[in-house]
Amino acid sequence: DQQVKQNSPSLSVQEGRISILNCDYTNSMFDYFLWYKKYPAEGPTFLISISSIKDKNEDGRFTVFLNKSAKHLSLHIVPSQPGDSAVYFCAASTGSQGNLIFGKGTKLSVKP
Amino acid sequence: KAGVTQTPRYLIKTRGQQVTLSCSPISGHRSVSWYQQTPGQGLQFLFEYFSETQRNKGNFPGRFSGRQFSNSRSEMNVSTLELGDSALYLCASTGGQGLDEQYFGPGTRLTVT
């Protein structure tokens, strides 16, 4: 039973436009959420996180939105750049020190 | 600051054998976690070690075990290998800031034939 779901395996976006990656979770005990980016042959790299006490967190071109009632979060990348092309994983945890439950990832392709 | 290193990077083993993978965390990090990545199941948490003690454990059979040494280096062992154990095994090193300060190594690609 998948507790964290990324329903879109892939997404293609034009350079300069917005990329929106979505993630749903089922466990209401999750209170800390993270997004990771992964290139082939490398481990995941932390991008941005959000605690359940917030509904938005921004870091440069990356913004994460959390809708607790819908158990949904999204990552917005504005503007998208070709170097953003990678697999993006959503992950959830109970607390900021716990182990991570990952979604299966969304492959983002940003076309020049 | 050196990153997380994992050895070996690639490994081919036969069914029934056992394997040991190694992870050296970032200097000063005391927590090491292990994850398995497969195409079907995605990234799944195996276990976490902190100061030589297993602090968390995922839902994997007892064939998967690990340990952590006093210098925070960690090893994981898989005994009686099965074809389904073929995966990328990732180690993550976590600092005092928690998950925002978690860095993954490049992984060990294990192929079981």
Instruction: Give the tens place of pLDDT for each residue, B4-36.
Output: 999 999 999 999 999 999 999 999 999 999 999
Residue B1 — very low, low, confident or very high, per pLDDT cuts 50/70/90? low
Best residue in A31, A59, A100, A107 for a mutation probing chain B (most B CBs within 10 Å):
A100
Using a CB-CB cut-off of 8 Å, the residues of chain A touching B105 are 43
**pLDDT tens track for B23-73:** 999 999 999 999 999 988 889 999 999 999 999 899 999 999 999 999 999
Average pLDDT of B72-88? Answer: 97
CB A71 within 8 A of CB A24: yes
What's the CA angle centered on A108, arms B90 and B34, to 5 degrees?
10
**Residue B41 confidence (pLDDT):** 87
* pLDDT top residue among A8 and B97: A8
What values do phi and psi take at A83, rounded to 5? -70, -10
Q: Hey, are the CB atoms on A93 and B99 less than 8 Å from each other?
A: yes
Q: Residue B12 burial by CB count (10 A; 0-12/13-18/19+): exposed, middle or buried? A: exposed
Q: Splitting chain A (112 residues) into consecutive groups of 10 residues, what average pLDDT does each group show?
A: 91 98 96 94 92 95 97 98 97 83 96 94
Q: Hey, are the CB atoms on B100 and A49 less than 8 Å from each other?
A: yes
Q: Rounded to whole angstroms, how far apart are CA atoms A56 and A47? A: 14
Q: Rounded to whole angstroms, how far apart are CA atoms B94 and B98? A: 6
CB atoms within 10 A of CB B39: 9
CB atoms within 10 A of CB A24: 18
Q: Hey, are the CB atoms on B98 and A46 less than 8 Å from each other?
A: no
**Residue B97 confidence (pLDDT):** 81
Three-state secondary structure call for residue A64: strand
Question: What are the strands, taking DSSP E only, across A1-112?
Answer: 4-5, 10-14, 19-25, 32-38, 45-51, 56-59, 62-67, 72-77, 86-93, 101-102, 106-111
**Residue A18 confidence (pLDDT):** 98
Q: Hey, are the CB atoms on A99 and B58 less than 8 Å from each other?
A: yes
Q: Which of A95, A99, A104 sits opposite B45 (nearest CB)?
A: A99
